[in-house]
Chains A and B, each alone.
Chain A
Amino acid sequence: MYNFESVEFKTINGQLLIYLHIKEKPGIEEFGSEFFFNKEDTLKNKAIKYVKSQFPKLKVASIVVVAGTFLLTNIPMQKVEAHEADFNMSYLYFGNTSSYISQVDKTKGNLNLVSPSYFDLKTDGSLKLTTQFDTKFVSEMHNRGIKVVPFLSNHWDRTLGRSALANRDVLSTQIAEAIIKNNLDGVQVDIENTTEIDRTAYTDLVRLLREKLPANKEVSVAVAANPNGWTKGWHGSYDYKELAKYSSYLMIMAYDESYEGGPEGPVASINFVDRSIQYALKQGVPANKVVLGVPFYGRYWKEGASTSEGGAGISNTKVDEMLARYGGKVTFDEASKTPKATITIKSGDPTTTIAGKALSPGTYHIWFENNDSIREKLRLVHKYEIKGTGSWSLGQENASMWQYYKTWMSHDGVEVLPINPDQPKEQIGEIIPSTSTYTVKSGDTLWKIATEHNLTVSELKNLNSLTADVISLGQVLKVGNAASESTVLPKEQVGNNSTPTQITNYTVKSGDSIWKVATDHNMAVAELKNLNGLTTDIIMIGQELKVNSSGATSTSTTQQTVVTNPKANTPGAITAPTQEAVNPKTTPAPITKTTSTTATKTTTASTTTTKTAVTTTNSASTAKTTYSILKVGSKGSAVTNLQNKLIKTGIYKGEASGTFDTATKNAVIAFQKKYKLSADGIAGAITQAKLDSVVPSTAPVKNTTTPTTVAKTYAILKVGSKGTSVVNMQSKLIKLGIYKGKATGNYDTATKNAVIAFQKKYKLSADGIAGAATLGKLDTLVK
């Protein structure tokens, strides 16, 4: 137990140090509760937590812990303040070896451990290796550096669970032998639905496993989330604190807040998840032994049906599929930080079957998880500095999420807020049915479907993650997007045509944000970042950015977006679950002779809006301009531009949100009526051309959307760092006359020496590492 007797502040070289004086006196509780610590917690962690909680606004350079005259530890805060979690595990339940490998490979290296359903129980409580077990899978995972830790399941059968606990001595030996024999990496105990009377035996099973397995093999436990601190029933069977003693970690199943047969609601609201973590920590489980379980599924309720009939599970991918098929509306519930889809199936619509049950016509409310909700949950990993995440179950998620997962998990001190509009906002708002799926009919074959949709069989299989050639009647297949029906140039032609590349430089000015620069140049933020190799949303005044010159200003070329239809497992592929790409599915117009200008098109979903080959003449420049057909459900920069122009006309009073919602539609109708156009609420070429004639696109457009804040946080730069942040720092050091080299973007020794010189000059800690203090000081000196 550590008790901080007193706190002392010192300023050395302009930096604040906090001295915590400690006296070890086990058992003494004479100090306030804020001075009381559990003996399991490390001195270092507690010192940091203490300072953070007691002096949250102080920018502390170091915490020094002293016992009498002995210095126990010196904790440099710059190095420890950012919590990084690098542990992610996921369960494998649906599929086989082949599909498992495919699912794992789609995670883009985010997983450290997978937990397949290899360990079941016989009725006598002995171990049953399931038929899913496959040594090939184990070696494939090991080749990828991923551990394989099967979970031991009783499949919610209370009696079976009790058989296992009653037979725990034999069972633990069998499990240990199976792990060693099959080169597995441990076991996760997932016996559920026993009760408080089984608590002691449960813990003892875990203890026995720990005792019988070598130290390099993991023992972990999947525990019921217990946000209400219940001590009876299923929740009472887990003695968190005791289990943690014998486990590598506890995986909190922080889901099923709403459930089958229960009232409609989120599977895992942020409050439920937060309190579930808090419970574990309050029980005395060390934070580094807490893994947060994240659901990759949702639950659905039919409007008008009884509660008892609702709440069946649905994978996130299935929700995507339904949105693509039927359209619908997705809203993000701010209270629970989870999305809710409302989807109506009309009589005569194609059938969707979930877990063998065909959904009848009606309106369905689906609470599920998307990138935004998962990101919110991952913030809690950092908030409580816990070990990492687990997920149930792999393959149910929208694979696009994995592009961002690592960023969410590595809290490097650069918090990008607000979330930029091109990041996963993809499932919010009204979604029109996608034309890019196909329902398998009698007589269809993969070859037939592929040929009819200008795909190869291989492409079609990749697109749908099919591992076999078997398809079934009624199955919905992704067949690319509407754009794929347009002329598709071979990859070799991209960027190799006679049209000049439409890239120019733009110098960042005061008041600019990355969002504003992107929007002003008709680009997505992600597109702008990719083009400039930016890894954060931070831009600096004076910074040169490459931008698309065919943006807000009219251009002299006719465009046709070339969609290269990347494979589903291609990084940044837009082919994975169709509506992840939120672009509207425009009706392809007759294709005229066009020239590709897609060199600047990146893989960002929102950049895939099909530019139909409708051309018009811009009265100001006599140049041809193309227009996307924009209607309810459309999203992206084209919509933002449209809204901005409607705002200029005074017809649209809302914000330029980038989403073509009902208010936008009404504004378009009003505009069309005013100018005696066909008032259908769809902004096609004629409407947009008229709008351009009324509000020239070259005119400065008022940005009514809250711009992305230029964050005042700094990445830590040191020898080896590269990029625009380094360029900026070097440029400033040059301006100050401290650095004599060039702004190369490489943080080399010369740069380090310059940083040290700067730090010494301004009485900063002269370590040659440019952190927030150094970069902040630079900012104050060089605007």
Chain B
Amino acid sequence: MKKLVSVLSFFILVISVQSLSHAAEETPSIPYFGVGATVQEVIKGEYLVKTEGAKSEEGFVYSPPKPFQNERIKFQITLKGKGTVILKLEETNARGQYIKEKTMEVALTENWSTYEMTYTLESPTSQIDAMVTTKSQEKATFTFKNLQIIEE
């Protein structure tokens, strides 16, 4: 019986390790990518963005992974920091071809503020890049949380 328990324990351990390693491999890293900038999760759900200052329009980008159900969407994000940033939605079709974009200028504050920008897609099959970038060439630092692309 003891031997059986040992054998079972061994198998359970093996399965657990495999599951863990598999999970580790498949765990998505941060879905926000720096554009001439670094993106770092400072505390859970809050991300710090530091631009290099090499050129304007540095910041980060996020692409919703799932296809949309309808054309009306809303880009919502909570930000804090200094200076002015640009919120931008850029639409490409399913083949990657650029369709159009919409931008909104935001003056950051030291307190958290939530911003929204509505957008009408050319087609629900389109892909969207949601970006927050600097307006001009500068070394900027800002923090964000609660980024959402909401279908209306």
Residues in chain A within 8 A of chain B (CB atoms) = 122-125, 158-159, 162-163, 165-166, 192-193, 195, 197-198, 200, 224, 230, 232-236, 256, 259, 261
Contact check, B95 vs A197: say whether CB atoms are below 8 A apart.
no
Contact check, B36 vs A123: say whether CB atoms are below 8 A apart.
no
Contact check, A232 vs B98: say whether CB atoms are below 8 A apart.
yes
A236 vs B101: C-alpha distance when bound (angstroms): 15
Q: Which of B28, B95, B127 contacts A123 (CB 8 A)?
A: B28
Q: Show 9 A/B contacts (Cβ-Cβ < 8 Å), sorted by A.
A: A122-B25, A166-B33, A195-B90, A195-B96, A197-B131, A230-B97, A234-B92, A234-B97, A261-B125
* Chain B stretch 1-52: residues in CB contact (< 8 A) with chain A: 25-29, 31, 33-36
Q: Which of B28, B35, B96 contacts A233 (CB 8 A)?
A: B96
Contact check, B98 vs A230: say whether CB atoms are below 8 A apart.
yes
Whether A192 touches B94, Cβ cut-off 8 Å, given contacts A158-B127, A162-B61, A197-B61, is: no
Whether A162 touches B96, Cβ cut-off 8 Å, given contacts A123-B26, A123-B27, A197-B131, is: no
Contact check, A200 vs B36: say whether CB atoms are below 8 A apart.
yes
Q: Which of A125, A193, A236 contacts B29 (CB 8 A)?
A: A125
B129 at the binding interface (Cβ < 8 Å): yes
Contact check, B25 vs A193: say whether CB atoms are below 8 A apart.
no
Which B residues are in CB contact (< 8 Å) with A232?
A: 90, 92, 98
Contact check, B96 vs A193: say whether CB atoms are below 8 A apart.
yes
Q: Give the shortest distance, in Å, between A191 (CB) and chain B (any CB).
A: 12
Which A residues are in CB contact (< 8 Å) with B127?
A: 158, 193
Contact check, B92 vs A195: say whether CB atoms are below 8 A apart.
yes
B78 at the binding interface (Cβ < 8 Å): no
Contact check, B96 vs A192: say whether CB atoms are below 8 A apart.
yes
Interface size on B, residues (CB 8 A): 26
Which B residues are in CB contact (< 8 Å) with A259?
A: 95
Q: Give the shortest distance, in Å, between A228 (CB) and chain B (any CB).
A: 9
B63 at the binding interface (Cβ < 8 Å): yes
B83-103 interface bits toward A, Cβ cutoff 8 Å, 1 = contact, 0 = none? 000000010101111110000
Q: Which residue of A lies closest to B129 (CB)?
A: A195
A778 vs B30: C-alpha distance when bound (angstroms): 76
A518 vs B102: C-alpha distance when bound (angstroms): 67
Q: Which of A192, A200, A236 contacts B98 (CB 8 A)?
A: A236
Q: Which residue of A lies closest to B64 (CB)?
A: A159
A197 vs B63: C-alpha distance when bound (angstroms): 12
Q: Which of A122, A125, A195, A256 contacts B95 (CB 8 A)?
A: A256
Which B residues are in CB contact (< 8 Å) with A235?
A: 96-98
Q: Which residue of A lies closest to B91 (CB)?
A: A233
Q: Which residue of B lies closest to A232 (CB)?
A: B98
Q: Give the shortest distance, in Å, between A198 (CB) and chain B (any CB).
A: 8
Whether A233 touches B61, Cβ cut-off 8 Å, given contacts A122-B25, A163-B29, is: no
Q: Which residue of B lies closest to A256 (CB)?
A: B95
Which A residues are in CB contact (< 8 Å) with B92?
A: 195, 232-234
Contact check, B26 vs A233: say whether CB atoms are below 8 A apart.
no
Contact check, A166 vs B34: say whether CB atoms are below 8 A apart.
yes
A358 vs B8: C-alpha distance when bound (angstroms): 47
A660 vs B112: C-alpha distance when bound (angstroms): 78
A224 vs B33: C-alpha distance when bound (angstroms): 22
Which A residues are in CB contact (< 8 Å) with B34?
A: 166
Q: Which residue of B lies closest to A124 (CB)?
A: B29
Contact check, B97 vs A159: say whether CB atoms are below 8 A apart.
no
Q: Give the shortest distance, in Å, between B58 (CB) and chain A (any CB).
A: 10
Which B residues are in CB contact (< 8 Å) with A165?
A: 33
Which B residues are in CB contact (< 8 Å) with A193?
A: 96, 127
Which A residues are in CB contact (< 8 Å) with B25?
A: 122-123
Which A residues are in CB contact (< 8 Å) with B99?
A: 233
Q: Give the shortest distance, in Å, between B96 (CB) and chain A (any CB).
A: 3
Whether A197 touches B96, Cβ cut-off 8 Å, given contacts A122-B25, A123-B26, A125-B29, is: no
A236 vs B57: C-alpha distance when bound (angstroms): 15
Pick the 6 closest A-B CB pairs, nearest first: A234-B96, A233-B98, A232-B98, A162-B33, A233-B92, A124-B29
Q: Give the shortest distance, in Å, between B5 (CB) and chain A (any CB).
A: 35
Which B residues are in CB contact (< 8 Å) with A261?
A: 94, 125
Q: Which residue of A lies closest to B27 (CB)?
A: A123
A163 vs B34: C-alpha distance when bound (angstroms): 10
